[in-house]
Chain A
Amino acid sequence: MKLLRDIWLVFGRYFGLFIRNPAWVALGVLQPLLYLLLFAPLLGPLNKVPGFPTGGAYNVFVPGLLVQLGLFGAAGVGFSLIAELRAGVIERLRVTPVSRVALLLGRALRDIVSITVQSLILILLALPFGLSVNPLGVVVVLALIALIGLFTASISYAVALAVSDEGVYASIVFTASLPILLLSGVLLPLGFAPTWLRNIAALNPLSYAVDAARAVFLAHLTDPSVTKGVAIMLVLSIIAIFIGARAFGRAVA
């Protein structure tokens, strides 16, 4: 009970900060719009490329874009935490009896809400371009993206607390997320990849999330890759929550 109340309180604080800042809200909506307007026109001709999965270019790419949004949307969340570390806010919160898990989850929940809303906007905007998806599929995909966001945000916060320096944080997070992204088949399906690259990608948990999202959008909701992708992200998220909450428990800055 206390944990839920604490999560709700912490979420309320950070959601309030977000919602009271019109610029952040506007940027949040703009991002998916940019993905579609500036990237989608490249997709039309791809349908004719031999070996490209059938089901329409949008149904292949939008899942990738969503995973990317989940990953990059949450990769940068540690920046604001470092500013708070410096201002003594985190230390002040850690002296109160508030649950350390709530310090993490309350914030991550805010990030998830923003990522989920952005994802929904992206899906809706893609519909007129020819994306087809059923409502249940949307729910499954949003849950999957939320898990990716939860995982990434928890790790980002743990890194931010560990390094407490914007420059170091940025280089760690972006150096790590780029290969993870490239090796997940987000941009192009790994079906195009040579065997060695596919083998490396098989070690990348995010590639299963991309497979799952793509299966949903290609109308294979019952495909085992969906369950597999969701299960992998769920396990990873739980591990990441442990790491993140531990980092809040012992933050030194």
Chain B
Amino acid sequence: MDAVIETHGLRRVFKTRKRSVEAVAGVDLTVRSGEIFGFLGPNGAGKTTTLRMLATLMPPSGGSARVAGCDLSTQPDRIRERIGYVGQAGGADREITGRRELVFQGRLYGMSRAKAEKRAAELITMLELEACADRQGKTYSGGQKRRLDIGLGLVHDPQLLFLDEPTTGLDPQSRARVWDEVRRMHDRGTTVFLTTHYLDEADALCDRIAIIDYGKIVAEGTPEELKRDVSGDVVTLTVAGDQQRALDLLKDEPFVREAKLDEGSVLLYVDQGEVSMPAILRLLDGAGLTLQTIGLHRPSLDDVFLRKTGRSLRETPA
């Protein structure tokens, strides 16, 4: 598939009077056409800085990048015509109605007034903003505001949309709505590049993920690949009677990496759950133990993060 974004050694150094900080320290990544690509990392990892460089908002200190088929350093104007960008702060003015903002945005992309008005009406319907489209931005709920912000990024139907932490600060319902919108963009063929520090968001929404920490990419792949690479699977089971007997029986099996008791059930860390489970069932059967419950848990992206960086993403301040 075609690469929509390709970077080589992308760097950004922030200089203050006393010292210089390398916020992005040589990022190489490829985002393919039509995918939802997630940039996962704690705050301050360099996610937003990378995004802003790719969206032409900030010149890189070093390295090169091609975005939407154009060179970032020499053709920023052509890139701007092809990308949409929704920043963390949003971008809709508090004093202006959503409809006016959408029409104005369309006109900035060269549309005639009539065409911009038509496009604004389409987006208002698509994003279900009918109820608030003609009210000032300051009257919007968090979810409405976010949908309007996304609408502003979609006015010119860009081939690539950047979303910087699209669901931060939203209630669960609005969050689900935003996920739905992102999936609909994906279905229409738009490439989406989003940043997030939510593990479940990266996991549920993204086709591929890059984990970034201290300005460097530490892992890249599909969520499945990343999780499989790192830690295998987790099997949780309970048996009738004493759990300790089951633990003693299974803990020295070659396919079990680690075993322990946890809140009245047996936890087994295994290489591949699908293969291990039948073996576990046979062993328990042979020992005359009656299985009561069994579950297979995939490792989370947090395990991936923990393994790659030595810290848990959940523990880093959001």
Chain A residues packing against B (C-beta within 8 Å) = 6, 9, 13, 16-17, 21, 84, 86-89, 91-98, 250, 252
Q: Which of B55, B57, B59, B91 contacts A89 (CB 8 A)?
A: B91
B170 in the interface, Cβ–Cβ < 8 Å? no
- CA of A120 to CA of B110 in the docked complex: distance in angstroms? 35
A contact residues around B77 at 8 Å (CB): 97
Smallest Cβ distance from A20 to chain B, in angstroms? 8
* Residues in B whose Cβ lies below 8 Å from that of A92: 85-87, 90-92, 105, 152
Q: How far is the CB of B99 from chain A (nearest CB, A)?
A: 13
Chain A residues with Cβ below 8 Å from B96 are 13, 17
Cα–Cα, bound, A98→B108 (Å): 6
- Measured as residues with beta carbon below 8 angstroms from the partner, the interface class of chain B is 20 to 34
Interface contact B109-A96, CB-CB below 8 Å? yes
Q: A95-B55, A95-B85, A252-B58 are in contact. Are A88 and B90 (CB under 8 A)?
A: yes
Total A-B residue pairs with C-beta atoms closer than 8 Å?
Answer: 65
Say how far A105's CB is from chain B's closest CB, in angstroms.
Answer: 15
With A87-B93, A88-B87, A91-B91 in contact, do A97 and B104 touch (Cβ < 8 Å)? no
When the two chains form their complex, are residues A87 and B104 in contact, meaning their CB atoms are under 8 A apart? no
Interface residue B315 (Cβ < 8 Å from any Cβ of A) = no
A85 to B: closest C-beta gap in Å: 9
Given known pairs A93-B108, A95-B56, A96-B108, the reply for A86 and B95 (CB within 8 Å) is: no
Within B199-252, which residues are at the interface with A (CB < 8 Å)? none
Residues of B80-123 whose CB lies within 8 A of A = 80-81, 83-96, 100, 104-105, 107-110
16 contacts between A and B (CB under 8 A): A13-B104, A16-B100, A17-B93, A17-B95, A17-B96, A87-B89, A87-B93, A88-B90, A91-B85, A91-B89, A92-B152, A94-B56, A95-B80, A95-B84, A97-B77, A98-B108
